Structure 1
Amino acid sequence: MYGPTKSGNQPADTGTAVDDTPTASAKPTLIGNRKPDELLSRAEAFFAQKGVKSLVVERDLGIVGVTGNDAELASLYLKCSDQPGPSNLDETYRILVQIFSAGEGSNIMVQVNGVAGLLAADGNDKVKPFACSSSGVFEKDLLEALRK
């Protein structure tokens, strides 16, 4: 039989992926003396300055986002070391910045997360992928730059 089956007394699968992170509890940071368009341009410039090429810029939504697997940037922006395993893991980061009006000023929300794992030469998982959390470095540096 293919497809979903009833699980009886077993707990239901929640369907969350490895790299999903809840955002409902995330609180925006208020920058009171800047407009969203100005901050969006400055955020784009910050990505470029850090060597991260902005892959998605959606001005109408106020979003700048990027994903990448540069080992140096991933090790700076992610904490993946709480998992046992080899130190040569492949890490992929995802950074999303949303800037929106707060009436007077702007709200900034920054989300940094990622996944680490290791593939064998045959393409199979040598180390199963697991979620990585933010080190806090990117968020702190971005917010400092936007407040100037």
Structure 2
Amino acid sequence: MNITLKRMTLIALPLFLTACGGGGGGDTSTGSGGSGSSDVSSSSPTTSLVNTEDIVAARAFKFCIGDAIQLSVNYSGSTPGALHVYSQADYVHANGDVDVDPLSRLTTIYPDLTTTVDIEINGNWEQIYARWVPMSSSELEQTFVVTLNQASGAYVISF
């Protein structure tokens, strides 16, 4: 036991002294006597900082860029399912088919429970995407692209 303890001490002591001890590989060519410090002149360009009280916005400026739309679902099928609404497309195929970004889901609509929902959207979005997922394999999944260009803010998805 003592032999193992001595060997561990002999191995650990040099590592400890090296880690805590010196180093000091600073540039000593500046004539500072090897203290490791050197004179550094600032070469970064000076920029004038703007104080927040100097920032002025127009009276009509608003941080809110959200718009409210009303999305209605006109489902003529008989299979229950869910209509997931997304803000972004993950990939658009050459034939126009869209794969939605699953991380951008806004809401889910169950047409057998409700047919109209109000959604808060970003006013910069040009489109939203709706993905119908039926609860039965007898009906296919469908993706719809809703172009956000109605002044009334009312949109209908019929399928």
TM-score band w.r.t. shorter chain: under 0.3
- State the TM-score, normalized to the length of structure 1: 0.28
Structure with more of its chain in helix, by fraction:
1
Of structures 1 and 2, the larger Rg is shown by 2
